[in-house]
Amino acid sequence: MENNINFTSSLKSKLILMAAIPALALLYFAGSGVLERQATSKKMVKLDALMMCLLKLALVSSPMAIKV
């Protein structure tokens, strides 16, 4: 009887490990994707600010060249 309990607990721990490893991999790749998109978003906001600054500078330097 004791041998059967040990086998069952060993089997349960193996099943938990089999489920946990793919779940951890999924969390890792999902988190990695979120961080990458967040970095891209920050770069796009910075690019937008630079483009607005460039547009203002162009309007100041020659107001007739660019019509908005």
DSSP states along 4-15: HHHHHHHHHHHH
pLDDT tens for residues 14-25? 899 999 999 999
Confidence of residue 7 (pLDDT cuts 50, 70, 90): low
Token match 């600010």: residue?
Answer: 49
Would you give the DSSP letter of residue 64?
T
Confidence (pLDDT) at 3:
62
Count of positions (residues) in the chain: 68
**Is there a contact between 60 and 68 (Cβ–Cβ < 8 Å)?**
no
Residue 1, pLDDT > 80, answer no
Mean of pLDDT values over 30-41: 97
Confidence (pLDDT) at 66:
56
Sign of the CA dihedral running 45, 46, 47, 48? positive
Distance CA 27, CA 33 (A): 10
pLDDT tens for residues 56-66? 988 888 766 55
